[in-house]
A and B are shown apart, each in its own frame.
Chain A
Amino acid sequence: MSPLFATYLALASALLAAVVSLGVTRLPTLLRYASFLLLGLSAASAMYAGMSVLLTSTSVTMELPLGLPWLNWHLRLDALSGFFLVVIGVVVLAVSLYGPAYVRTFVHAKAPQSFTALSVFTALFILGMYLVVLADDAFMFMVAWELMSVASYFLVAYQHQYPANRRAAFLYLLMAHIAGVSILLSFGVLAGAGGGYTFEQMRAADLSVTWASIAFGLAFFGFGMKAGMVPLHAWLPEAHPVAPSHISALMSGVMLKVALYGLIRLVYDLLGEIQWEWGLVMLLVGAISTLLGVLYAMLSNNLKRLLAYSSIENVGIILSALGLSLIFIGNGEQVLGVLGLIAALYHILGHAIFKGLLFLGAGAIARATHEYDLNNMGGLIHRMPRTAVWMLIGCLAIAGLPPLTGFVSEWLTFQVALQAPVLKSGVLRALIPVTAAMLALSAALAAATFVKVFGVAFLGQPRTRNARHAHEVPLGMQLAMGMLAILCVLFGILPSTTIGVIDAVPQLLLETLPPEATTAGWLWLTPMSADVASYSAPLVALALVVVGGLVYLLLRVRAERIRRVYPWECGYGEVNARMQYTATAFAQPIQRIFAPVWDLDEEIVEKRHAKQPQLVESIRYQLQRQDKSWSRLYAPIGMLVLGAARRIGYLQTGSIHTYLAYSFFTLLFLLWVVT
């Protein structure tokens, strides 16, 4: 099967899934399975197409007779598109396994929720993402972009009977369109210089440094806003939690990556000569996004909101890696630039997988306990043992711990940052290690965050009735999560092989390969040379397993059975569920240290005993946390816009005479201009 055919199959199945879903309310079970089956088929073909292009390093272009009369739709499947098709395909495949069991609760939902809308727009959303990644001209890109954004708007607004959801969806749509305008302007700059809207013409364009920087700035603003970089991130933590969990997995796992695809395509492929200053901007913004994202995640108690902020953090990591890559390329170090790009791509792949896994797990928890707040869960490891295992793997991966996949991209990023001494500029040589330290801080805070997530949700004792009565989720959901968890482990253990496949992308974009990355075989990862740095993930994993197993077996020989008894708790006696650490309490030390990052409003009301005022009878504690970017950035901009609108509103007097006068004076003006 040729990659071209596989691509068409992927697009057609997604479209067919949308059509099939139109009738889903009539035959819910059959059509539900059918639509997810078709989506799974589209995912499999997309992955096939992507993998074949990556492995053979070819490019395929096609032209569809759709679009404008003088500008047909151009599609292009090259290594970069192929890589992103694989990323999209993996998550969509997992969602198609997860979907049928998960959406069963939505089938008989009352109006105004519409199950038909959910199914149709899911398929259209996925179709839109495929088309964005395959687009080879600006017009088709924007059409596909719009399809993706609008379809996901309807998905975010799925439960629009709640005003909070409506607000979140509106904010999402607004920011998606501002981003779209910026991207369009950037394409406009390129098209103006290139003489046409196809990417081929843009590649051939000869831009001056100023115009290239303007195009970069607009693209960075637009794609960055859609990817969720700070400070343009406000829509992310509002929109991702409100959508159904499998949609959140798609949005966080894949849609953010599609935005980053746009950025990579534009900067590496279309813009031509790369200036290192762009890389510096990207690095700084990425580092700030990473730190702020993880701090906001640490303090969130709503599980899905926490995961959304964590996505902001990971997008920051990817942007930092890309920024490092651009800095090195701009300074003439192509090989190191390639390594930075590979680190970024590895993280894109890894994040899609483990963020998808975590969101699907959040959906499973919600399904089992009807709870979203961490403080209302607890002890789920006993009630949902298999989900707990998958979630543990997801938490380990996102915390960047060896030997899983998150660690590999982190290791690669640090290795690239450590090559800073080859740069000539002393400021860069000092700045890059400092940003690497910031990334290390964020990685450690991410580990703390996910200890909190797993510890509060799954461990300890159940905090509510709902948590006590949780049950394991159906097989389909298990399979999906299990598949993603296994991939997390696989990509962590075989980094060298994976990089061997990803190599096709920098070969396409920069025509350079990292010289020794895979020369030492599948066992060793040596990005620069074996003397500089090497990491053998398979041996590490083997060592951990062997040593752990050996110790266990050695001790089993003499061991008696374990005795079970009430908890020790230093002899304090009975321990009930209320005495445990809550999620808020767990995050409190970090909240105190990094207090300037939030707008905090803490209220402690102590009620003292009437007769003995030194004894406290009860304490009421209230904490409100607000993202500081709202009060510092969005609220002032909102005020500005409203103020300007009000002032312009003075034009609208309501009197018909004034309107006639407007028309009259405009006519006079135009007549004067014509003469």
Chain B
Amino acid sequence: MDLTQLSLYEQAILMFASMVLFTSFAMLAQPRIVPLIHLFAWQGALLSITTALVALVSNHPHLYLSAAITLVLKAFLIPWMLHRLAVRLNIHHEVEVIRFPSLLLIAGGALVVFSYSVVAPVVQLSTLTTRNTIAVSQAVVLLGMLLMIFRKKAITQVIGFMSIENGLFFAAVVATYGMPMVVELGIAFDVLVAAVLFGVFFFQMRESIDSLDVDRLNRLRETEEPLPPEEFRR
């Protein structure tokens, strides 16, 4: 399928899909928390625009609703909540040290190639005009997982998790023109609840191990030493 044979809207879908992929990469390499949250917001916004375009091209009006939900939730509400959380925890000035960002980016590139080779059979079978972007959606999922594995701050892990969900939503949109409305609403609500829970969880975590560095969670491991007596425990 030659690019020039697609209509302008279909080309625009490919364009925005690639920009979503770009935000995934940019999140991998971004060490500051507030710009990271902004990148996540942009990913959500681009995703909702892509969904709206797919709705336009494929004549599935329910996708407009999905696009709206994504926009409100992923581009405004959740980033706002995360930002507020970061300010309350006083971590919004923190910069995470990434040891070898170039290696991370190269790993990301390899994941994109891997996703492409993995979804190739699906792309062959599909008849939708957006089938080329299935590989991109798969890559967004994998890059979100990469983000969760190699970064240390808890907020980054949340964003990685949300990014995975973004990728899955995107995959659903381009592979099957969306999921049944009930499923979509349910997932959207779940994600919202997850964001709230994460907030609560962060405060607890900071209280118990005094830091939001996920690596330090291994302090909760059982050791041979006896616990200090009751009055010295928190």
Kindly supply a per-residue 1/0 record for chain A positions 422-437, scoring 1 wherever the CB is within 8 Å of any chain B CB and 0 otherwise.
0000110011001000
In the complex, the answer to whether B116 meets A427 with C-beta atoms within 8 Å is yes
In the complex, the answer to whether A431 meets B113 with C-beta atoms within 8 Å is yes
A431 to B113, CA, bound (A): 8
The yes or no answer to B100 lying at the interface (CB within 8 A) is: yes
The yes or no answer to B109 lying at the interface (CB within 8 A) is: yes
The yes or no answer to A596 lying at the interface (CB within 8 A) is: yes
Q: Which residues of A contact B120 (CB under 8 A)?
A: 426
Distance in Å: Cβ of A328 to nearest Cβ of chain B: 19
Residue of chain B at shortest CB distance from A425: B117
Residue of chain A at shortest CB distance from B103: A596
A430 to B112, CA, bound (A): 10
Q: Which residues of A contact B116 (CB under 8 A)?
A: 426-427, 430
Question: Which secondary structure dominates chain A's binding surface?
Answer: helix
In the complex, the answer to whether A430 meets B100 with C-beta atoms within 8 Å is no
Within 8 A of B (CB), among A129-181: none
Kindly supply a per-residue 1/0 record for chain A positions 402-433, scoring 1 wherever the CB is within 8 Å of any chain B CB and 0 otherwise.
00000000000000000000000011001100
Q: Which residues of B contact A596 (CB under 8 A)?
A: 100
Residues of A within 8 A of B (CB-CB), count: 6
Distance in Å: Cβ of A383 to nearest Cβ of chain B: 43
Q: Which residues of A contact B109 (CB under 8 A)?
A: 434
Residue of chain B at shortest CB distance from A430: B113
Distance in Å: Cβ of B73 to nearest Cβ of chain A: 34
Within 8 A of B (CB), among A4-23: none
| A-B contacts, CB under 8 A, total | 13
A427 to B120, CA, bound (A): 10
Residue of chain A at shortest CB distance from B112: A430
Kindly supply a per-residue 1/0 record for chain A positions 568-596, scoring 1 wherever the CB is within 8 Å of any chain B CB and 0 otherwise.
00000000000000000000000000001
Kindly supply a per-residue 1/0 record for chain B positions 72-92, scoring 1 wherever the CB is within 8 Å of any chain A CB and 0 otherwise.
000000000000000000000
Q: Which residues of A contact B100 (CB under 8 A)?
A: 596
Q: Which residues of A contact B113 (CB under 8 A)?
A: 426-427, 430-431
Q: Which residues of B contact A434 (CB under 8 A)?
A: 109
Within 8 A of A (CB), among B108-164: 109, 112-113, 116-117, 120
Residue of chain A at shortest CB distance from B117: A427
A426 to B109, CA, bound (A): 14
Distance in Å: Cβ of A284 to nearest Cβ of chain B: 13
A81 to B25, CA, bound (A): 50
Residue of chain B at shortest CB distance from A431: B113
A430 to B118, CA, bound (A): 14
A431 to B112, CA, bound (A): 11
Residue of chain A at shortest CB distance from B102: A593
Distance in Å: Cβ of A73 to nearest Cβ of chain B: 49
Q: Which residues of B contact A427 (CB under 8 A)?
A: 113, 116-117
Residue of chain B at shortest CB distance from A434: B109
Residue of chain B at shortest CB distance from A427: B117
A431 to B116, CA, bound (A): 12
Q: Which residues of B contact A431 (CB under 8 A)?
A: 113
Distance in Å: Cβ of A280 to nearest Cβ of chain B: 13
Distance in Å: Cβ of B136 to nearest Cβ of chain A: 13
Residue of chain B at shortest CB distance from A595: B100
A426 to B116, CA, bound (A): 7
Kindly supply a per-residue 1/0 record for chain B positions 54-79, scoring 1 wherever the CB is within 8 Å of any chain A CB and 0 otherwise.
00000000000000000000000000
Residue of chain B at shortest CB distance from A594: B102
Distance in Å: Cβ of B5 to nearest Cβ of chain A: 17
Q: With A427-B117, A431-B113 given, can you name 11 additional A-B contacts, CB distance below 8 Å? A: A426-B113, A426-B116, A426-B117, A426-B120, A427-B113, A427-B116, A430-B112, A430-B113, A430-B116, A434-B109, A596-B100
**Which A residues have a C-beta under 8 Å from some C-beta of B?**
426-427, 430-431, 434, 596
13 A-B Cβ contacts within 8 A?
A426-B113, A426-B116, A426-B117, A426-B120, A427-B113, A427-B116, A427-B117, A430-B112, A430-B113, A430-B116, A431-B113, A434-B109, A596-B100
Q: Which 7 A-B pairs have the closest CB atoms?
A: A430-B113, A427-B117, A426-B116, A427-B113, A426-B120, A426-B117, A430-B116
